[in-house]
């Protein structure tokens, strides 16, 4: 399953009052694993940046002055997200801006049923606890040291990690990788010591002889002959299991 984790930065809180997109960041997941493919763009909002918004993301009028308009990047953005579910934290906010920009540029808007809202998932999974991105990163031990200010691509990357944890973590490998959610289990397994004495063989003398006869019938080039030469015949076995 292909999913796109998405985040935006804007000039304010409401596109209906003239606020615009200034940044889009996307991270591709396939079966809830990052593929390494991303989409990232800064956008000239064609209006002044309010100080309140600048203090959040640090994108100034001067920085955005030479960036493309949304209409210039809309097709590339739609191509990147085509056919995928969108994963967004507080999806109503971001989708409000994206669909407003798409409609403004004369393009078809994105259906809300394509969107998964991680804010709703977090509130259901952790009722009564803070559900913003910083709080969820802290809960799941995700490093946010690079997040000095909000940035769409960085926040999408962090949200991708949160989304995977909200869905149970990297269960394909049981988390037995560096930084995995089950690293404590792996550490415990590493401490397991071998038995002081090996268990006695459960192969009877008759079974061992039948095995040797079978190998002899295969031929002298049989791979099993190599192992047979290093094996010791079992002691008299009781045949009990």
Catalogue the active-site residues: 150
- What is the distance between the terminal CA atoms of the chain, rounded to a whole angstrom? 47
* Strand partners of residue 2: 30
Give me the phi and psi of 105, to 5 degrees please: -95, 10
Contact between 68 and 101 under an 8 Å Cβ cutoff? The reply is no
Give the sign of the dihedral formed by CA 172, CA 178, CA 182, CA 183: positive
Token pair in block for residue 236: 């008299």
């Amino acid at each position: 399953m292909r999913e796109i984790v998405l985040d935006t930065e804007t000039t304010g809180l409401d596109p209906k009052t003239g606020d615009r997109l200034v940044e889009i960041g996307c991270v591709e997941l396939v079966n809830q694993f990052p593929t390494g493919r991303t989409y990232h763009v800064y956008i000239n909002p064609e209006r002044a940046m309010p100080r309140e918004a600048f203090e959040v993301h640090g994108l100034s009028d001067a920085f955005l002055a030479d960036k493309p308009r949304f209409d210039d990047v809309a097709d590339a953005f739609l191509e990147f997200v085509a056919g995928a579910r969108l994963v967004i934290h507080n999806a109503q906010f971001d989708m409000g801006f994206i669909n407003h920009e798409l409609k403004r540029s004369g393009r078809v808007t994105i259906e809300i049923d394509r969107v998964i809202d991680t804010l709703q998932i977090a509130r259901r999974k952790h009722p009564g606890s803070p559900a913003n991105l910083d709080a969820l990163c802290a809960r799941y031990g995700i490093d946010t040291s690079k997040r000095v200010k909000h940035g769409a691509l960085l926040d999408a990357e962090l949200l991708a990690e949160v989304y995977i944890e909200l869905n149970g973590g990297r269960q394909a490998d049981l988390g037995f990788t560096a930084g995995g959610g089950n690293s404590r289990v792996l550490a415990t397994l590493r401490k397991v010591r071998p038995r002081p004495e090996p268990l006695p063989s459960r192969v009877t003398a008759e079974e061992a002889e039948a095995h040797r006869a079978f190998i002899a019938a295969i031929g002298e080039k049989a791979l099993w002959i190599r192992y047979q030469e290093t094996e010791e015949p079992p002691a008299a076995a009781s045949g009990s299991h």
